[in-house]
């Protein structure tokens, strides 16, 4: 499949995701769309990202989340060299909770 067609299909998914109105609706949407293991992996990566963003060290993250060192390393790379969206969302949520 051409790369342009893949991008268009992906954007459709994300356009629908941003229409979700509540955390409960979001939970149900992903529960219907994803396998439990996929949801767990995404939740774990996000927990790791929040901890890294807050300055927690790898060993503490490994103990607290049960994530592999490869997962922690991958999430750390995403935070440091990715698009910046993950850190922006975490920062926004931190500001809203203050």
* Overall domain count for the chain: 2
CATH of the domain at 77: 1.10.1270.10
Q: Is residue 44 classed exposed, middle or buried when 0-12, 13-18 and 19+ CB atoms within 10 A define those classes?
A: middle
Q: Tokens at residue 12, please?
A: 């459709």
Same domain, 53 and 79: yes
What pLDDT is stored for residue 98 in this prediction?
81
What global pTM score does this model have?
0.84
Same domain, 75 and 43: yes
Same domain, 28 and 75: no
Residue 19 structural domain: 1-33
- Tens-digit pLDDT string for the chain (98 aa): 556 666 667 789 999 999 999 999 999 999 999 999 999 999 999 999 999 999 999 999 999 999 999 999 999 999 999 999 999 999 999 999 88
Residues 56/90, Cβ–Cβ less than 8 Å: no
CA–CA distance from 63 to each of 14, 53, 81 (Å)? 33, 17, 25
Same domain, 42 and 72: yes
């Amino acid at each position: 499949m051409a790369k342009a067609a893949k991008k268009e299909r992906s954007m459709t998914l994300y356009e629908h995701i941003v229409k979700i109105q509540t955390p409960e609706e979001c939970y149900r949407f992903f529960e219907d769309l994803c396998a439990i293991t996929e949801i767990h992996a995404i939740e774990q990566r996000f927990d790791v990202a929040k901890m890294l963003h807050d300055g927690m060290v790898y060993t503490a993250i490994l103990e607290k989340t049960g994530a592999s060192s490869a997962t922690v390393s991958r999430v750390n790379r995403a935070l440091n060299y990715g698009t910046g969206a993950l850190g922006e969302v975490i920062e926004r949520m931190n500001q809203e909770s203050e």
